[in-house]
Amino acid sequence: MRNTMRYVTATGLTLATSLIGWSANAANQIADDKIAVAQAALQRAEQSGAPQSAPVELATARDKLARAEKANADRDGKTATALAEQANIDAQVAEATAVEQRSHAAAVEFDRSMQALRNEALHSTAPTTTTVPLPVAAPTTAP
């Protein structure tokens, strides 16, 4: 009976340890996935012009991503996941800001072009005030 109890206890401890290890690995896998998503979002933001248009948001995303990677290396999956999600959102905001600024600049340029075309159209259709001399009739002689 004692051997059975020892076996059950040892088996239970082994099983519990395995579950804890599996749970930790699952948490790290989730954090790894979230970190990969955040890295991709950061790359898209950098390629969209965010370094010039949204440097603060981009710096915030980079900082949170670095902290997420450190937390993941320290086996703190919960913190790593939360920071990676925040980094992803910050990178998306940086990308959206860059796209918005480019769109705004394009709209302003379009408006300028349209105004130039309107001005050109107004000037080309304005009536001219030049006078054309009328032909002078030659004197007629009576027969």
- Name the residue ranges covered by the structural domains of the chain: 28-112
Residues near 39 by Cβ (< 8 Å), separated by ≥ 6?
65
Return the CATH architecture of domain 28-112.
Up-down Bundle (1.20)
Residue 103 confidence class, pLDDT cut points 50, 70, 90: very high
pTM for this predicted structure:
0.64
Q: Is the pLDDT of residue 8 over 60?
A: no
Q: What is the DSSP string of 43-76?
A: HHHHHTTHHHH-HHHHHHHHHHHHHHHHHHHTT-
Tokens of 116: 């130039």
Residues 7-26 have a mean pLDDT of 54
